[in-house]
Structure 1
Amino acid sequence: MLLKNVIIRKFLSFSVGSWVSLLIAIVTTPIITRILTPEDYGIYSLFLVSTNLFLLLALLGTDQMYFRFYPELKRDNHELLRKVIVINIISFIAITILLLVFREQLSELLFGVRINNLIILLILYIAGRLVIRICLSILRMEEEGVKYSFIQAAIKLFDLIIIILLIFIISSDSYTFYIPVLSLVISNFIVVFISIYYTLKTWKMVLFDRNTKIFISYKELIKYGFPFSLTLLITWLFQYTDRLLLKEMNGMEDVGIYSAAFKIVSILLILHTSFNSYWIPLSYKKFEEKNNDTINFFVQSFNIVSLITFSLGIILILCKSLLKILLGQSFYDSINIFPILVIIPVMLILSEVTMVGINFYKKSYLHIYISITITLINVVGSYLLIQWIGIMGAAISTSLSYLIYFFLRTWAGNYFYKIKINYLSFTSNLLLFILLALLNSFFDPLNHIILIINSILVGTFLVINISRFYEIFSKLRGGIK
């Protein structure tokens, strides 16, 4: 069955939470960057970086196990989920012991300060995120887009409310990073109860229904999920090499300024999150149909996604001067960095479409090889360029690494499952996009000459894609045929 309007509506139901979260973040970011110094913002951002690391270790790729085997097990999915949760509990206990035993050393290593309370807050935050992640996985596979979106939005909404309250409670000018960190932990636990309520039926079956058995062992689950986990850990290093090296080479202030630039880029990173939320289960379902229209579905999906992401990236870059109002005065240097960083979410989103063959044919080990390659490139590139041009060097190295990441994932995915991409059209759009990003990072977009060049680049992009815009809008109105 071809993709119809109902698919588009379902995608929108999954993405609306991300966009509401974005609107809330637009309010939250100016508040945080005005109450925190760049140094404290750097500690706060490294708290989030550390959370991502330990959450990946706690998950051990179990969400990917759940997504992969869910369509095969049909009514026995709660038994699969039970095994997933057991793996999560064991790994979380091991991580908690590790963090508590080496709390002082890890606090110094991760945050640059010896504050044991940060480790306790980290453990609490990971616990809450783990439960929410399980609940979101359930809602994704059950295609409960509205509930999924509500949970996403609720996290950001409660975070904003609690930040405002804590500003009045925590009056000290020192350790102001506690304000956003405490807010994260408290809002997280509020949303845990909402998430469990929305998935209560499934949780009851997991806890009390023992009548079904599945023939997938823990060994098979871990065998499938572990390469994803290892890949994600390497990808974590790849994603955060820039910030970790900035911390060691330039100090916490540069980490804060660089992280604030990523806050602006989160406008498109949220699009990646919302797209991925629906794309992963949808792509598996389309592959399982195995009909003549399946490959055409992926080709058309890439055409639509590439044009939309390039267009949004260009719009974001052209709004460089306006976006300054989102940041406190101490963070104004972030504005010059973000245009280059916009390349990152665009390449991420596009690679999710082109690499599906790796997952369809269970070649998850290829993710490891790709991630190791890109991590090494980014480590070397960031180390050399940070010494040369500081923060901008980190941005250039990371963005270049994501370009290579896209092409490697595309090559590997197409080796197993060919998606016929119009590379001439795609390459033209990509080059125009990169030129625009570089130009607006190094020069003032309000300069008359830069305005003219920007106009030429954008005009060329529109001329090249005018027929595709019309075609895509027609399909979105009537469904893809």
Structure 2
Amino acid sequence: MAVRKLLGFSLGPAVASFVSLISVPILTRIVTPETYAQVSLAQVTIQLLLFAIFSGFDQGYVREFYEEKSKRKLLLHTLGLNLGLYAVVVLSLWCFSEPISNFLFGYIDFTLLILIAVIAFQSVILRYIQLAFRMEGSAISFSLVLIIQSITNVLLILSFISLNIATDLKAILSANAISIFIVIVFGILKLNPPVHTKEIVNFDKSLFLKLARYSLPLLVSTLFMWVLYSADQYMLRIMSDYQQLGLYAASYKLIAALVLFQTIISTYWVPVSLAWAKEDKSSYEYERVGLIVSGLLLIVFLLAILFKSLLVLILGVEFRGAVDIFPYLLLFPIYYTLAEVGSSGIAIARKTKLLMPITFICACLNVSLNLYLIPMMGAKGAAISTAFTFILYFYLRAYVSNRYWKKLTLKNYNYVTLICIITLMFHDNSYINYLCILLLLLTLIFLYFKEKKLIKFFINQKIFSSKNHTP
């Protein structure tokens, strides 16, 4: 895929993440931590429902898109199953509506559950529209869907709350539903004719079994990832209170910028690493990239610690407690990014099946640490659990990569880990700012004199072109 097209597909997630980021301080001044917690639980629940509804068949659609001649038949075999599973999920939601509503919101409100069901249905349709744009290479349409939805969502939330049309929680969920509906209409109008064709389709057993064999294992892996990313919020609801969950959710939202950085790095680095493997580049070249990325992420981490007191100004006084939570959550996107860069050998050696046991181990560790730390420390305990879980996630992936491919040094990553842990141990100390400034200067000096040529390569974006030679 050309760099220009990759940039086109990256534009939508970038703008959507930016809008989400700037909406956080707006929402935290409008709603209480308790309401923010309820919104977060609703979003996590929708995500869980979608895992059950998709069951990996959306990925099966992508896998067979270029193999199956009839795009309509492929769509009906995947989307049709997903809509059937949606009916089962909604029936379950209705049967257990009272306990589910009590768990999520602390009271019974069927309107909120209906909104969750509506958003889940819309998300299924929107997912296939996005996949169609992606597979057709329609980068602009793909990005426009994300941009329109994110901007419309924020504007509707502010309008509903300011006009007292709905309560805070209902306003946020209603705005989400309406914004998704708007982009679904936009997407359907922009889709190419093959999706609208009236071709008669019969059930194809061989196609369905092929989709199932590919998709169902992904469901297990995806479920482990959900536990890794989101189970902590359910555990905070069970073992703590809405106040702590609201602080945690707001802090989590603020790391969206780093999550975006991780997404962009992954989008560019994976094809580059595969191209380098084909050209038989030496281990040293991969290690140099790892050094630059880990150094840049360390700088971002230290700057965030240095200015963490500004969180109170960003989020508002009611979310003051997020200052103690935010530093630990930074390690989630940092170590996920390092895992993408430092474990290229997994994809190159075609050992991606080993990601499932890695994710399972990390999910178990995350749940175990949360069970121990949340009762004692609340949201801070959940954040610490997340930090150590993703450190382990990185090292397990690096170990597997080194075992089945070239053995890359972990020395630079070990330094980053040591500095991060020491900084977190003393992040509430009055002298932490002096330590951060010192470490920042040392890191910048080291990077400049060690790899100034490669830094210039990054700035010029030449590193992402396989036609160029590494300096």
TM range (shorter): 0.7 to 0.9
Alpha carbons 2:277, 2:348 under 8 Å: kept: no
Give how far 1:199 is off: 2.8
Give how far 1:219 is off: 1.8
Structure 1 window deviating more from structure 2 (337-346 vs 221-230): it is 221-230
2:163 corresponds to which of 169, 172, 181: 169
Partner of 2:332: 344
Give how far 1:314 is off: 3.8
Pair 426,357 (structure 1): closer, same or farther in 2 beyond 3 Å = closer
Give how far 1:363 is off: 5.7
2:397 corresponds to which of 389, 396, 409: 409
1:343-362 maps to which residues of 2 (within 5 A)?
343-354=331-342
Alpha carbons 1:432, 1:461 under 8 Å: kept: no
CA distance, structure 1, for counterparts of residue 125 and residue 282 of structure 2 = 36
Pair 425,277 (structure 1): closer, same or farther in 2 beyond 3 Å = closer
1:479 corresponds to which of 459, 462, 469: 462
Which secondary structure state, in structure 1, belongs to the residue aligned with residue 108 of structure 2? coil
Give how far 1:331 is off: 0.8
1:275-295 deviation line (CA, Å, top 9, x unaligned): 556777x489x57x9833588
2:359 corresponds to which of 363, 371, 374: 371
Give how far 1:245 is off: 1.8
Pair 82,377 (structure 1): closer, same or farther in 2 beyond 3 Å = same
1:186 corresponds to which of 158, 164, 178: 178
CA distance, structure 1, for counterparts of residue 308 and residue 129 of structure 2 = 37
2:258 corresponds to which of 257, 262, 268: 268
Alpha carbons 2:303, 2:436 under 8 Å: kept: no
Give how far 1:110 is off: 3.4
Relative to the length of structure 2, the TM-score reads 0.86
Pair 102,273 (structure 1): closer, same or farther in 2 beyond 3 Å = farther
1:52 corresponds to which of 30, 47, 53: 47
Which secondary structure state, in structure 2, belongs to the residue aligned with residue 321 of structure 1? helix
CA distance, structure 1, for counterparts of residue 364 and residue 50 of structure 2 = 23
Say yes or no: does 1:31 pair with 2:13: no
Say yes or no: does 1:239 pair with 2:234: no
1:20-47 deviation line (CA, Å, top 9, x unaligned): 2233234422221122111111111100
Alpha carbons 1:47, 1:122 under 8 Å: kept: yes
1:43-79 deviation line (CA, Å, top 9, x unaligned): 11100110110111111112332444446x2866665
CA distance, structure 2, for counterparts of residue 353 and residue 144 of structure 1 = 27
CA distance, structure 2, for counterparts of residue 162 and residue 248 of structure 1 = 31
Pair 103,273 (structure 1): closer, same or farther in 2 beyond 3 Å = farther
CA distance, structure 2, for counterparts of residue 239 and residue 25 of structure 1 = 18
Give how far 1:246 is off: 1.6
Give how far 1:233 is off: 1.3
1:305-357 deviation line (CA, Å, top 9, x unaligned): 54544444444443323343321221111122111101001122232345566
CA distance, structure 2, for counterparts of residue 295 and residue 227 of structure 1 = 34
Share of identical aligned residues, percent? Answer: 26
Partner of 1:227: 217
CA distance, structure 1, for counterparts of residue 455 and residue 69 of structure 2 = 37
Structure 1 window deviating more from structure 2 (182-191 vs 262-271): it is 262-271
Give how far 1:396 is off: 0.6
1:208 corresponds to which of 178, 183, 199: 199
Structure 1 window deviating more from structure 2 (23-32 vs 260-269): it is 23-32
CA distance, structure 2, for counterparts of residue 278 and residue 140 of structure 1 = 16
Pair 380,343 (structure 1): closer, same or farther in 2 beyond 3 Å = same
CA distance, structure 2, for counterparts of residue 94 and residue 368 of structure 1 = 27
CA distance, structure 1, for counterparts of residue 57 and residue 455 of structure 2 = 36
CA distance, structure 1, for counterparts of residue 239 and residue 348 of structure 2 = 41
Structure 1 window deviating more from structure 2 (366-375 vs 450-459): it is 366-375
Alpha carbons 1:354, 1:419 under 8 Å: kept: no
Give how far 1:453 is off: 0.6
Relative to the length of structure 1, the TM-score reads 0.85
Say yes or no: does 1:380 pair with 2:368: yes
Match for 1:262: what amino acid? Answer: Y
Pair 431,202 (structure 1): closer, same or farther in 2 beyond 3 Å = farther
2:247 corresponds to which of 257, 262, 284: 257
Extract unaligned runs of 5+ from structure 2.
464-468
CA distance, structure 1, for counterparts of residue 281 and residue 141 of structure 2 = 29
Alpha carbons 1:269, 1:345 under 8 Å: kept: yes
Match for 1:407: what amino acid? Answer: Y
Alpha carbons 1:15, 1:275 under 8 Å: kept: no
Pair 31,60 (structure 1): closer, same or farther in 2 beyond 3 Å = same
1:224-251 deviation line (CA, Å, top 9, x unaligned): 2212211211221222232222211221
Partner of 1:61: 56
Say yes or no: does 1:426 pair with 2:413: yes
Match for 2:391: what amino acid? Answer: L
Partner of 1:468: 451
CA distance, structure 2, for counterparts of residue 184 and residue 366 of structure 1 = 36
Give how far 1:419 is off: 5.2
1:132 corresponds to which of 112, 116, 126: 126
Give how far 1:181 is off: 1.5
Partner of 2:138: 144
Give how far 1:472 is off: 3.5
CA distance, structure 1, for counterparts of residue 269 and residue 194 of structure 2 = 23
Alpha carbons 2:21, 2:253 under 8 Å: kept: no
Match for 1:424: what amino acid? Answer: K
Partner of 1:90: 84
Partner of 1:113: 107
Which secondary structure state, in structure 1, belongs to the residue aligned with residue 161 of structure 2? helix
Pair 408,239 (structure 1): closer, same or farther in 2 beyond 3 Å = same
Alpha carbons 2:305, 2:436 under 8 Å: kept: no
Extract unaligned runs of 5+ from structure 1.
none
2:16 corresponds to which of 21, 25, 42: 21
Alpha carbons 1:246, 1:386 under 8 Å: kept: yes
CA distance, structure 2, for counterparts of residue 216 and residue 246 of structure 1 = 44
Between the two proteins, the alignment pairs up a number of residues equal to: 462
CA distance, structure 1, for counterparts of residue 194 and residue 422 of structure 2 = 49
Which secondary structure state, in structure 2, belongs to the residue aligned with residue 217 of structure 1? helix
